[in-house]
Structure 1
Amino acid sequence: MFKKLHRVVFASALAALLTLGTGWPSPALAKGPPSGFDALPQQQRVMVDDLEKRTFQWFWDSADAKTGLVPDHYPSESFASIAAVGFGLTAYGVGVERGYITREQAVERTLTTLRFFHDAPQDDSEDGATGFHGFYYHFLNMKTGKREARWVELSSVDTTLLLGGVLFAQSYYDRPTAKEKDIRELADAIYRRVEWTWMQPRAPLISMGWTPGGMFIPHDWQGYDEGMLVYVLALGSPTHPISDDAWSAWSKTYPRTWGEFQGKTFLNFAPLFGHQYSHSWIDFRGIRDAWSREHKLDYFDNSRLATYTQRAYAIANPGHWTGYGENVWGLTASNGPGDIVVKASDGSTRQFHGYIARGAGMEQIVDDGTIVPTAAGGSIAFAPEIVVPALMEMKARYGHAIYNQYGFVDAFNLSFDGKVAPTVGRIVPGMGWADTKQLGIDQGPIVLMIENWRSDFVWKVMRKNPYIRKGLERAGFTGGWLDQAEQ
């Protein structure tokens, strides 16, 4: 019903192969990732530098100058994605710190964006509004700023990803100038307006969304997935906070995905975006809630394990897809060649997909041979020692087809031979299928997590935000930076 709704999952014929295992490379995961961008060989530093800058440039070039809206995909005609706007608002701060743009440029772009969202119409009309009860529609028309179409839901998680960027702006632009003061006030007003309790038809859980025609989506955010950030922001609200028991209600479903995959036991979520989105803004290193204290595993370490299992899955390659290996891996929500069945000369068939939440984990495998660079790139802070070599090799092998002025294209597939025309993207002779554009929600984790790995930049900014701190504390998190004095 809802186009590109990430929580839609698909059964896979490969699920029976879940029991296949593989060896694990060193170093021991429990000790955490080695740090040090500066310690990389020069060629790798140059590559990561280049990728970060190009990925930032995608946001800077694609955003609408009058509204600040960021397209779902670009370059090509597209509707806006409010989640992509959240990543963009944060990327502008990265751009300032890296010297890609001036602080003044970032202030102007951020003010434009926040003014749009603050002033945009909020009501229950089918076609005339941008949001309702403080939430926003998942996709907006790039020209009008209104709901793109009637298949678009008022999205709790995409509003939350937007708010990640809004709250970043509130904490980052801290100078005593009139414009930066306006940013802080607008950001505060946008966040305070969100009526989290309204989005709880089955409290204490939070619904995935609402539509004027169909009302509340009959599914709630239950762990473990990108909904983590939804609950943190809903718990931190000074105006419409959800109840204290919401976090335990969200996390009590963890047991269904706690288990072994590829030889390691961790909290599974098959697509890597679920391990990246909340971490793009919140530093989960060393802070633990009741669940992670019991399991002696913080959420950052859990995401590190998830990253390693994806690499292990690619090495095992139970689906026998072309090109998979120790440095060519990564499954997450992305574009693909299309919903196409291809018959081989031996009579066997291969099922390919368009946009879908690809992934590999204990509960499910959704894999059609499509590799998504953000799966690795957005996990660089978790496991740089395996991510950087993967990015290097994918670019070295296939860069002519998958790396352009905005970094990696969204996805590529070495098993799609072009005997049937793809729905999107193009056939690259001698290689396979490659997308021709980037998606904002896949570009975002790349640039934010590169910078988090390099400097802790976004994490440091967000540690200062009182709403983030309050939400984490109400969820029961303690330890690490949370136990330090507020900065």
Structure 2
Amino acid sequence: MLKTYLPILLFLLPFLSSCEGDTRDESPLIVKGYDRHVELRWPKQEGYDTYRISVSSAGNQYTARATVSDTIYMDFVNDLGNNLSLRYKVEGLNTQNQAIEIGEAEVQTKDFSEEELLDMVQYYTFRYFWEGAEPNSGLARERIHLDGEYPQDDAHIITTGGSGFGMYGLLAGIDRGWVTREEGTARFEKIVNFLGEADRFYGVWPHWLDGETGKVKPFGQKDNGGDLVESAFLMQGLLAVREFYREGNEREKAIADQIDQLWQEMEWDWYTQGGQDVLYWHWSPEYEWEMNFPLLGYDETLITYILAASSPTHTVSADAYHKGWAREGGINTDKNPYGHHLMLKHNGAEEMGGPLFWAHYSYIGLNPKGLKDRYADYWEHNKNHTLINRAWCIENTGGYKGYGEDLWGLTASYSVKGYAAHKPGSDLGVISPTAALSSYPYTPKESMDVIKNLYYNYGEKVFGRYGFYDALSPEANWYPERYLAIDQGPIVAMIENQRSGLGWNLFMSAPEVQQGLKKLGFQTGN
């Protein structure tokens, strides 16, 4: 029996040893108390497909809480009170409804400080990229659904861009002791080995890869080759990992060397279609340049130009940035919605700014604090973009239920019907938690208001094993238990950036990045 649940014990060891209210007795039932919920885990029992969870408080008799088919359960205990001492029992049930006791364990909940709440949100979101990773590659699954709507044919499809964001979460996990350095090193070895063997197109990965084979999974009919933007998001993460391991032991230096090789093999100049003064998003071995999507600012793709200019082997000229991306100054605007100045034209959303992921994706590693060029002060621009998005939700011209100072944030996410790029002026009554949470560096108090509201007032409707679910709509009474890697990754990365600066410090320490920024005329620093 010990071998069955030993991996669970080993994984939870850092948290069990550092948190009050945890239990580590002889029971295979592992429980962890938070503020308003308790998490239980236990080993799967052969012949028992469902499990009954019961709880006792103050020495009273056990009462049933749930019957589940999984081996993890999050019990939100708002109905029982605060600062609780509880005892749980888990039983396995077979098809004849016969029960076998798996274990009992005691646990305490307690009111959390804001720091403890941030620890919890980051840790749970980190688990998307640790526990929820595609097993063969170690990279991030495109999506994970816990609501019975999971597309099984996507179970091994990984997202290159979302994986890049997730690497900052993995680094935070090592730095904060959620996993050991050795465990993290083993995961990054798996990742870089896989990426080195996976399909690339002039050194550039596709949007999606099959995690079992490393072969391209078309994102669309003609999108079956290199995706320069998603690969930029991926390399933004890999360069931070390289810097993390650069001065490590022999095994760690080997990871850094492998990443350096992958970095040098990316042919950014190929994606100018023969030397044009602009970068192009896609190239396909079958359709070549037919998608014909030039990267013209402003949107989420700034990091692509930064990395292309920084490449030590296949760099692009500064003209590609100034004439292509910035359109020789045409990128600038002078809009002041809600009294907040937007300096840059947001493609298709000039009046009040685009979805909030535009303030996140390029800045997972690229530090916007003190980042300026002839076109913008990027810290002020991103902060204002966030405040405009928030002000729109507070004004709430659509009259959507729940909107306000403690529930705001429009960005690309799941929607009630399909997927949508939510933004001011294109608001469907759907709030995406990643919008406010990933904006934590820009609006720490305002983002914390959203975190508290979601956790304390919405609870199990919006918070699951990998953190806050992707989207919600109180207006439509819609609370899907679904996750997307590209939305989870920025949450843990950007919160960590504000708390410790870990990701920003690592990425900005890369000498090529500093050279590339100077080449394009950027100033950096506070």
The reply to whether TM is greater than 0.5 is: yes
Structure 2 residue 239 is the aligned partner of structure 1 residue 160: no
Structure-2 residue corresponding to 1:38: none
Q: Secondary structure at the match of 2:336?
A: strand
Structure 2 residue 154 is the aligned partner of structure 1 residue 87: no
Q: Deviation digits for residues 428-458 of structure 1, max 9, x if unmatched? A: xxxx111212111101110001111111111
Structure-2 residue corresponding to 1:369: 429
Structure-2 residue corresponding to 1:46: 116
Structure 2 distance, partners of 1:258, 1:403, is 39
Q: Secondary structure at the match of 1:47?
A: helix
Structure-1 residue corresponding to 2:294: 220
For 1:68, which of 130, 134, 138 is the aligned residue?
138
Structure-1 residue corresponding to 2:395: 316
Structure 2 residue 230 is the aligned partner of structure 1 residue 143: no
- Give the conservation status (yes or no) of the 8 Å contact 2:129–2:139: no
Structure 1 distance, partners of 2:141, 2:248, is 32
Q: What are the residue-to-residue correspondences of 1:108-147 with 2, within 5 Å?
A: 108-120=186-198, 130-147=199-216
Structure-2 residue corresponding to 1:278: 362
Structure 2 distance, partners of 1:479, 1:219, is 29
| CA pair 244-256 structure 1, distance change in 2 beyond 3 A | closer
Structure 2 residue 340 is the aligned partner of structure 1 residue 264: yes
Quote how far apart the aligned CAs of 1:53 are. 0.4
Structure 1 distance, partners of 2:381, 2:201, is 35
Structure 1 distance, partners of 2:181, 2:277, is 41
- Give the conservation status (yes or no) of the 8 Å contact 2:134–2:158: no
For 1:355, which of 409, 419, 422 is the aligned residue?
419
Q: Secondary structure at the match of 2:335?
A: strand
- Give the conservation status (yes or no) of the 8 Å contact 1:223–1:254: no
Q: What are the residue-to-residue correspondences of 1:274-313 with 2, within 5 Å?
A: 274-292=358-376, 298-313=377-392
Q: What are the residue-to-residue correspondences of 1:442-453 with 2, within 5 Å?
A: 442-453=487-498
- Report 1 or 2 for greater relative contact order, CA contacts < 8 Å, sequence distance ≥ 6: 1
Structure 2 residue 468 is the aligned partner of structure 1 residue 408: yes
**1:279 partner amino acid:** Y
Structure 2 distance, partners of 1:171, 1:99, is 19
**1:409 partner amino acid:** Y
Structure 2 unpaired stretches of 5+: 1-110, 347-352
Structure-2 residue corresponding to 1:457: 502
Q: Deviation digits for residues 63-97 of structure 1, max 9, x if unmatched? A: 23332231111144432101121122222110011
Q: Secondary structure at the match of 2:492?
A: helix
- Give the conservation status (yes or no) of the 8 Å contact 2:281–2:293: yes
Quote how far apart the aligned CAs of 1:263 are. 2.7
Structure 2 distance, partners of 1:440, 1:261, is 31
Structure-2 residue corresponding to 1:185: 257
Q: Secondary structure at the match of 1:461?
A: helix
Structure-2-length-normalised TM-score: 0.72
Q: Secondary structure at the match of 1:80?
A: strand
Structure 1 distance, partners of 2:271, 2:508, is 26
Structure-2 residue corresponding to 1:251: 326
**1:183 partner amino acid:** I
Structure-2 residue corresponding to 1:392: 452
Structure 1 distance, partners of 2:263, 2:211, is 22
**1:369 partner amino acid:** G
Quote how far apart the aligned CAs of 1:254 are. 5.0
Quote how far apart the aligned CAs of 1:256 are. 6.1
- Give the conservation status (yes or no) of the 8 Å contact 2:413–2:470: yes
- Give the conservation status (yes or no) of the 8 Å contact 1:156–1:209: yes
- Give the conservation status (yes or no) of the 8 Å contact 2:341–2:381: no
Structure-2 residue corresponding to 1:208: 281
Quote how far apart the aligned CAs of 1:369 are. 0.6
| CA pair 57-206 structure 1, distance change in 2 beyond 3 A | same
Structure-2 residue corresponding to 1:336: 415
Structure 1 distance, partners of 2:504, 2:139, is 24
RMSD: 1.7
Structure 1 distance, partners of 2:525, 2:238, is 25
Quote how far apart the aligned CAs of 1:258 are. 4.3
Structure 1 distance, partners of 2:330, 2:396, is 27
Q: Secondary structure at the match of 1:215?
A: coil
Structure 2 distance, partners of 1:254, 1:307, is 22
- Give the conservation status (yes or no) of the 8 Å contact 2:409–2:435: yes
Percent identity, please.
Answer: 32
- Give the conservation status (yes or no) of the 8 Å contact 1:74–1:437: yes
Structure 1 unpaired stretches of 5+: 1-40, 121-129, 293-297, 339-353, 417-431, 482-487
Quote how far apart the aligned CAs of 1:479 are. 4.4
- Give the conservation status (yes or no) of the 8 Å contact 2:407–2:453: yes
Structure-2 residue corresponding to 1:126: none
